[in-house]
């Protein structure tokens, strides 16, 4: 049989081959059906067991195909299983891009233990050799799922790989030039299979203060910018929470150097806020549920129409910026 299953063909007019079967009745040939998004083809082959399309297939696309014997009266027998293959050209290293994650969507609540993963590649004129995909269980600090796939942009399994009431990160990396690209943008989702995870119903009555992770209180920091990060005790509530983070020069947070009131992640990286050396900074983060009204863009604070819980403030001191890695 050909093209090879899940393989990549190097021509846009591949030859399809199959094994002829002996039948008790006479047949007039075989019906070949070829399908891709936006390209449906069918051909009746009356001689031999090969077929080549008369026009080019679409480049960088996934195709499915199957065949069925056609009796002398025109009726078709049972179709073969569906086979898949991909058309090139392969992406070069200069065409390496970060994968776009589709499903589960960022912040989605997944209600069963083996959801399909889907993604897309931003270039349409080439195709990676395959993909490396990872689902990371934050609570256990290990992979819940990891694998290498074909150039297809989805993965499904009948095996359960998620635990209930957990936070998961997931990402996909293209394989180009025989190597897995080191660059990726992760997304996250939470699981709640029965609707009874701790923290539900995720409203003001269960809202908790986020717990800061880094920089640790009193730590030394030697990066020119600070990425602050935190955890939240009830993962199932993360899709319903907005975080507010502030970094300031004073413990009263009157002299802010960076802030955001619309964070839907567990970290804040103010790329445009550069730190001075040998200086003490303070940071804090708040969690909020419900509907908010924003203040003007020039204000460092926002007013809230829903309850907000703020964590304690933490401090860190910069030292030898740019001469090492962060400590503490």
Check pLDDT > 80 for residue 274: no
Give the Cα separation of 104 and 195 in Å (integer).
Answer: 18
> Which tens digits make up the pLDDT trace of 47-56?
989 999 999 9
The tokens of 106 are what?
């960022």
Q: Does domain 93-191 have CATH number 2.60.40.10?
A: yes
Radius of gyration over every alpha carbon of the chain, rounded to an integer in angstroms = 27
Domain coordinates of the chain in residue numbers?
A: 7-87, 93-191, 204-318
* Cβ(298)–Cβ(267) below 8 Å: no
Q: What is the pTM of this model?
A: 0.77
Confidence (pLDDT) at 322: 53
Q: Is residue 303 over pLDDT 80?
A: no
Q: What is the CATH number of domain 7-87?
A: 2.60.40.10
What is the C-alpha separation between 129 and 6, in angstroms, rounded?
A: 11
- Digit-coded pLDDT (tens) for 117-149: 999 999 999 999 999 999 999 989 999 999 998
Q: CATH second-level architecture of 204-318? A: Sandwich (2.60)
Is residue 306's pLDDT more than 70?
Answer: no
Element (H, E) at 213: strand 211-214
Query: Comparing 164 with 298, which gets the higher pLDDT?
Result: 164
pLDDT of 77 > 60? The answer is yes
Rounded Cα distance between 31 and 79, Å, is 9
Instruction: Classify 192 as helix, strand or coil.
Output: coil
């Amino acid at each position: 049989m050909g093209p090879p299953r899940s393989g990549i063909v190097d021509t846009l007019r591949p030859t399809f081959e199959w094994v002829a079967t002996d039948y008790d009745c006479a047949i007039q040939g075989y019906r070949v059906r070829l399908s891709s998004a936006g390209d449906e083809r069918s051909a009746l082959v009356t001689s031999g067991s090969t077929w080549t399309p008369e026009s080019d297939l679409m480049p960088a696309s996934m195709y499915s195909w199957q065949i069925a014997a056609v009796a002398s009266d025109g009726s078709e027998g049972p179709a073969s299983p569906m086979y898949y293959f991909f058309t090139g050209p392969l992406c070069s290293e200069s065409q390496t891009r970060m994968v776009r994650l589709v499903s589960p969507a960022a912040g989605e609540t997944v209600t069963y233990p083996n959801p399909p993963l889907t993604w897309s590649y931003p270039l349409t004129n080439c195709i990676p050799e395959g993909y490396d995909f990872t689902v990371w269980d934050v609570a256990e600090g290990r992979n819940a799922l990891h694998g290498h796939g074909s150039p297809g942009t989805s993965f499904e399994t009948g095996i359960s790989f998620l635990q209930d009431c957990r936070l998961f990160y997931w990402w996909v990396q293209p394989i180009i030039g025989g190597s897995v690209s080191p660059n990726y943008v992760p997304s996250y989702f939470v699981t709640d299979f029965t609707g009874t995870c701790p923290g539900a119903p995720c409203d003001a009555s269960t809202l908790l203060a986020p717990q800061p992770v880094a920089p640790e209180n009193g730590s030394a920091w030697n990066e020119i910018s600070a990425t602050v990060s935190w955890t939240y005790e009830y993962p199932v509530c993360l899709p319903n929470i907005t975080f507010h983070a502030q970094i300031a020069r004073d413990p009263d947070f009157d002299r802010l150097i960076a802030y955001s009131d619309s964070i839907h992640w567990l970290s804040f990286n103010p790329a445009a806020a550069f730190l001075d050396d040998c200086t003490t900074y303070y940071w804090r983060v708040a969690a909020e549920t419900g509907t908010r009204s924003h203040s003007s863009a020039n204000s460092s604070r926002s007013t809230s129409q829903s309850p907000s819980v703020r964590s304690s403030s933490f401090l860190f001191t910069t030292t030898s910026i740019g001469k090492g890695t962060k400590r503490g």
